[in-house]
Amino acid sequence: MKTDVEELSPTRVKLTIEVPFEELDHAFDVTYKSLAKQVRIKGFRPGKAPARLIDRYVGRGAVISEAVNHAVPELYNEAIQKEELFALGQPDVEVTKLEDNEELAFTAEVDVRPKFEVENYRGIEVTVDSAEVTDEQVDEQTSTLRERFSTLVGADRPIENGDHLSIDLSAAIDGEKLEDVAVSGYSYEVGTNAMLEGLDETLVGLEAGGEATFKTTLVGGEHEGKEADVTVTVHSVKVKELPELDDEFAQMASEFDTIEELREDVRKRMSEVRRLQQLSAARDKALEQLIESVDVPLPDAVVDEEITRRRESLEQQLAQGGLTKEAYLESQEKTEEEFDEELTTGARSAVKAGFILDQLAIQEDLSADQGELSQYVFEQAQRMGVSPDQLAQHLVESNQIRVAFTEVVRGKAMDLVLAGARITDEDGNVIEQENAEEAAAKAAAVAAEESLEVIEDDTAETGADDAEVEVEEPKAEEAKADEAKADDAPAAEDK
């Protein structure tokens, strides 16, 4: 087999592959065995008909077509490995020459991972927020804990904001009572404005047993948007009573004997959270600097796939939440053009980050073993709220184990960058990484999303197993394989 590689751009190549017919013997053997099981020739059992009769029965052209369809993916894979190319997605294949018993020639255009080196990734300097925990912040956290142990007691006074009530609500339009717009014994906190407009203002000043009527616009139901007279009746008024912040509270709310011990534990826990937030922020900023420092050409097709994936993901989330894209843009105070620009920028950054981390993994010979893959599946399953077995089975059944492998390897590459970074807070204090590997893992855990969207990632596949070539006598026509979908960026492929 003869292979020639033409670089169409830094991210796309064209392979010209020429193969003598004698090198297609294996493809023809497989084809004859397959066809022999499908055809019925008198005098021969299924699968036993000789090749010359199959040629005559189904036609030599059909045999050649089937053999070429089988041979092209294997030949393409062999050429990719021989030339040490990292293909992204499936190739565009065109048979250019097909002469029976002489030669097969075809071209394959495919996007490839650009060739570059990641340099100066050690010693990146980043600045993060201070992790200092103030007394006011400790007070706020302690107050939150105090709220959890509050009790409601009756109040013999006019209603004020913050009071907890038991109320009845009824409504009428033009004097006609609305049977479907009524609630009884409803618990409501005054001042939350969580129900009808005007309710809170009407309640303030009333007492238990009091009643008042106000006009408002109904929300929800068949009368939505209509103005109605709403009557509210107050059954009880209660106020929230908070426990004293003393040693007795500490013993009730925690394992500590004194309030000072409890406050010190709150401070310690907050400091640890701030510490993890520092490492997470350092990880993000280090990656941003790495992306800015490395010049990488990006394949348009891969970027377009990432843009499409992100757009479809957002639209799916909006649909699940019952929102329209217009409502989302309005809430974000963005125009359609600003949204598209932001989407494109994010997609390009994600693709570029993937290329860089993949290349760094290659340079440092990073890989992932079974234990690391299992740990990744376990952590992602926890975030998704499913069992590790369920997620592992999904990855296997959807042929996405490479996704997990890629994410683990990229994570290790980013760990390497973070471990070599110089991290300081806004006050100039150096953030020590006593154990770089452990620190990086913690930072990655904090940075990880709360849910995992498992998608297909075929961008690293160098094979074209699904490519088919339609062949007609006496020549072949162009065959085009489906483009592969991209994850956040192309994955590193084993040479």
Residue 104, pLDDT above cutoff 80: yes
Q: What is the pLDDT of residues 318-346, one digit of tens each?
A: 888 888 888 889 888 899 999 999 999 99
Cα–Cα distance between 30 and 26 in angstroms, integer? 6
Q: What is the DSSP letter of 242?
A: P
Q: Is 71 helix (H, G, I), strand (E, B) or coil?
A: helix
Q: Please tell me whether residues 295 and 414 are part of one structural domain.
A: yes
pLDDT computed for residue 51 by the predictor:
75
- Report the distance separating Cα 230 and Cα 177, nearest Å: 10
What pLDDT is stored for residue 42 in this prediction? 67
**pLDDT(450) > 80:** no
Here the tokens at position 320 are 């699940």
Q: Do 187 and 52 reside in the same domain of the chain?
A: no
196: pLDDT strictly greater than 50: yes
Beta strands 87-99 and 2-9: pairing type?
Answer: unpaired
Residue 468 amino acid letter:
E
DSSP designation for 246: S
What distance in Å separates the CA atoms of residue 200 and residue 169, rounded to the nearest whole number? 13
Residue 179 or 116, more confident: 116
Would you say 417 and 121 are in contact if contact means Cβ atoms under 8 Å apart?
Answer: yes
pLDDT > 70: percent of the chain = 86
Considering the domain architecture, whether residues 331 and 428 belong to the same structural domain is answered as yes
Q: What is the pLDDT of residues 259-292, one digit of tens each?
A: 999 999 999 999 999 989 998 999 999 999 999 9
What pLDDT score does 346 carry? Answer: 94
- Domain range spanning residue 104? 2-115+463-480
Cβ proximity of 269 and 131 under 8 Å: no
For residue 452, being part of any structural domain is answered with: no
Flag whether 188 is in a domain.
Answer: yes
**Residue 155 carries which DSSP code?**
-
Q: What is the pLDDT of residues 363-416, one digit of tens each?
A: 999 999 999 999 999 999 998 889 989 999 998 888 888 889 999 999 999 999
Q: Are strands 125-128 and 422-425 parallel, antiparallel or unpaired?
A: parallel
Q: Can you tell me whether residue 425 is helix, strand or coil?
A: strand
The backbone region for 241, taken as left when phi is positive above 0, alpha when psi lies in -120 to 50, beta otherwise, is: beta
- What phi and psi values does residue 414 have, to the nearest 5 degrees? -70, -35
Q: Are residues 309 and 350 in the same domain?
A: yes
Residue 299 and residue 421 share a domain: yes
**Interhelix angle for 401-419 vs 436-447, to 10°?**
120
In this structure, is residue 424 part of a structural domain?
yes
Looking at the domain assignment, is residue 317 inside a domain? yes
Which positions ≥6 away from 143 have C-beta within 8 Å?
A: none
Instruction: Read off φ and ψ for residue 40, nearest 5 degrees.
Output: -120, 110
Same-domain check for residues 45 and 70:
yes
- Tens of pLDDT, residue by residue over 49-90, are 777 777 777 788 888 888 899 899 999 999 999 998 989 888
Task: Specify the length of the chain in residues.
Answer: 495
Residue 61 DSSP symbol? H
Q: Do 381 and 336 sit in the same domain of this protein?
A: yes
Q: How far apart are CA 176 and CA 125, in angstroms?
A: 71
Percent of the chain with pLDDT over 90: 55
Residue 107 confidence (pLDDT): 95
* Vertex 443: Cα angle to 438 and 444 (nearest 5): 100
Considering all CA atoms of the chain, what is the largest pairwise distance in Å, rounded to the nearest integer?
A: 104
Distance CA 350, CA 459 (A): 14
Check whether residue 130 and residue 111 sit in a common domain. Answer: no
Closest-CA residue to 459 (of 438, 436, 435, 490): 490
CATH value at residue 169: 3.10.50.40
**Is residue 58 included in any domain, yes or no?**
yes
Average pLDDT over residues 108-119: 92
Q: How confident is the model at residue 434 (pLDDT cuts 50, 70, 90)?
A: low
pLDDT at 47: 60
